């Protein structure tokens, strides 16, 4: 049922019936199923429906939610002195789309049902973590290095969120996080490093690490990203994400190993390892900085999607939209929303799940206030939220 996200969780009872049952219903009403179907098959726009007089139908439906288990793969390079200092985490998600049957494939018509190889997204990141681990394993370290491979990223950062919420415990046990997501398709010597604003110490470390590598770097302060680094930013861990850019093979079967730029991918690994070396040998951990989003200036409201500053919790099954947080300075925080609130109505739309919320966002407009109904600590409350342009 989740394939049809438009009606998922709508509360409308729906059922499919067999042809045999349909023939009995039509016969009871004195109608012929085949004749009625033949009229529809002509594509005559004036063909109308009719009542099945004298027929009473009782429908009993039951939904059994299927749950499945994903597994993170986590290892540690131990350091003798690491019990006194927080660890460095280096991670990448290892899941992809399989045959692309779950709604987030961008396969062309001729590609439907084919294996989505995911060479860049994110076999490149997985290989990068393993290569960096080999480099750091031979280094005299004063900190542990945690090596993490996340599951469920494509479904909404499920693996990294689970690690942060259920496994990590105290976020202060991590010094910093380096996340690699799509590092195999660098073009024109460019490399994006995102989340730089999460610590004042990042820029100098990155500059030093890039001297022997020589990328044209695109440094982006914004840590609120659709990848696993966001899970750590949420709990106050400085985290970078390394990314070589989008391309036409993203989420398609054509994302294959033959299109990887192996030379530049090796350079991304070298740069990341250079940052890692400095982190695991420095005395003081990085200080976390909460980034306040900046509103774009001069953009035409009609040209950009409305921005609310909410951070949905994709991993929790609940009636409504549970917030795992709100972006500092964003519309949601200004409206008084906070982590743990459950949105049940957004403007004129009742919210029962993430899909309802996604569709509700399409209707809102920049600068036009709307009423948000939410639950906090078991009590229903209201606030007014005014969407802005995306930072």
The model's pLDDT over 7-60, given as tens digits with 9 standing for 90+, comes to 445 566 777 889 899 999 999 889 899 888 888 888 777 777 888 888 888 888
The candidate with the shortest Cα–Cα distance to 240, out of 193, 280, 288, 206, is 193
Give the mean model confidence (pLDDT) for residues 296-301. 37
What pLDDT score does 8 carry? 47
Place of tokens 């403007």: 347
Is pLDDT above 80 for 341? yes
* Residue 17, CA distances (Å) to 14, 36, 60, 175, 347 in order: 10, 17, 12, 58, 36
As a whole number, the mean pLDDT across the chain is 87
What pLDDT score does 72 carry? 97
pLDDT tens digits, 307-334: 898 888 765 668 899 998 888 788 999 9
Contact 343, 313 (CB under 8 A): no
Give the mean model confidence (pLDDT) for residues 264-291. 93
Q: What percent of the chain has pLDDT over 70?
A: 91
What pLDDT score does 212 carry? 96
Helix (H, G, I), strand (E, B) or coil at 372: strand
What pLDDT score does 6 carry? 42
When pLDDT is cut at 50, 70 and 90, the band that residue 63 belongs to is confident
What pLDDT score does 70 carry? 92
Cα 37 from chain centroid? 43
pLDDT tens digits, 185-212: 998 899 999 999 999 999 999 999 999 9
What pLDDT score does 296 carry? 39
Contact 218, 193 (CB under 8 A): yes
Cα 70 from chain centroid? 15
Is pLDDT above 50 for 226? yes
Is pLDDT above 50 for 378? yes
What pLDDT score does 7 carry? 41
pLDDT tens digits, 68-86: 899 999 999 998 765 667 9
Rounded Cα distance, 231 and 161, in Å? 5
Is pLDDT above 80 for 181? yes
Contact 265, 180 (CB under 8 A): no
**Which position has the higher pLDDT, 299 or 247?**
247
Q: What percent of the chain has pLDDT over 90?
A: 53
Per-state percent for the chain, helix, strand, coil, to nearest 5: 30, 20, 50
Give the mean model confidence (pLDDT) for residues 234-249. 91
pTM above 0.85, yes or no: no
What pLDDT score does 10 carry? 57
Give the mean model confidence (pLDDT) for residues 249-275. 96
pLDDT tens digits, 84-139: 679 999 999 999 999 988 767 888 888 888 999 999 999 999 999 999 999 999 88
Strand partners, 177: 89, 239
């Amino acid at each position: 049922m989740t394939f049809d996200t438009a009606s998922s969780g709508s509360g409308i009872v729906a059922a499919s019936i067999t042809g045999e049952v349909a023939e009995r219903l039509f016969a009871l009403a004195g109608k012929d199923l085949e004749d009625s179907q033949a009229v529809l098959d002509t594509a005559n726009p004036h063909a109308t429906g009719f009542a099945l007089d004298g027929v009473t139908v009782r429908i009993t439906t039951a939904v059994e939610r299927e749950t499945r288990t994903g597994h993170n793969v986590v290892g540690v390079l131990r350091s003798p002195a690491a019990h006194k200092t927080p660890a460095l985490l280096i991670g990448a998600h290892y899941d992809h789309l399989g045959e692309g049957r779950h709604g987030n494939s961008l396969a062309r018509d001729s590609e439907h049902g084919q294996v989505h190889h995911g060479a860049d997204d994110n076999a490149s990141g997985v290989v990068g973590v393993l290569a960096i681990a080999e480099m750091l394993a031979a280094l005299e370290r004063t900190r542990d290095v945690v090596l993490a491979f996340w599951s469920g990223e494509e479904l909404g950062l499920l693996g990294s969120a689970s690690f942060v919420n259920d496994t990590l415990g105290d976020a202060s046990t991590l010094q910093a996080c380096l996340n690699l997501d799509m590092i195999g398709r660098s073009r024109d010597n460019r490399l994006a490093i995102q989340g730089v604003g999460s610590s004042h110490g990042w820029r100098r470390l990155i500059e030093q690490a890039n001297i022997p590598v020589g990328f044209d770097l695109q440094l982006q302060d914004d840590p609120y990203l659709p990848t696993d680094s966001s899970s750590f930013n949420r709990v106050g861990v400085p985290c970078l994400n390394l990314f070589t850019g989008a391309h036409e093979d993203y989420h398609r079967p054509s994302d294959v190993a033959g299109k990887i730029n192996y030379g530049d991918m090796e350079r991304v690994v070298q740069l990341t390892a250079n940052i890692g070396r400095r982190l695991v040998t420095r005395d003081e951990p990085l200080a976390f900085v909460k980034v306040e989003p900046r509103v774009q200036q001069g953009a035409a409201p009609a040209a950009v999607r409305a921005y609310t500053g909410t951070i949905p919790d994709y991993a929790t099954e609940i009636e409504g939209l549970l917030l795992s947080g709100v972006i500092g300075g964003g519309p949601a925080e200004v409206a008084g929303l906070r982590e743990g609130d459950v949105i049940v109505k957004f403007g004129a739309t009742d919210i029962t799940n993430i899909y309802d919320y996604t569709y509700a966002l399409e209707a809102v407009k920049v600068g036009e206030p709307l009423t948000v109904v939410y639950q906090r600590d078991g009590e229903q409350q209201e606030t007014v939220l005014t969407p802005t342009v995306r930072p």
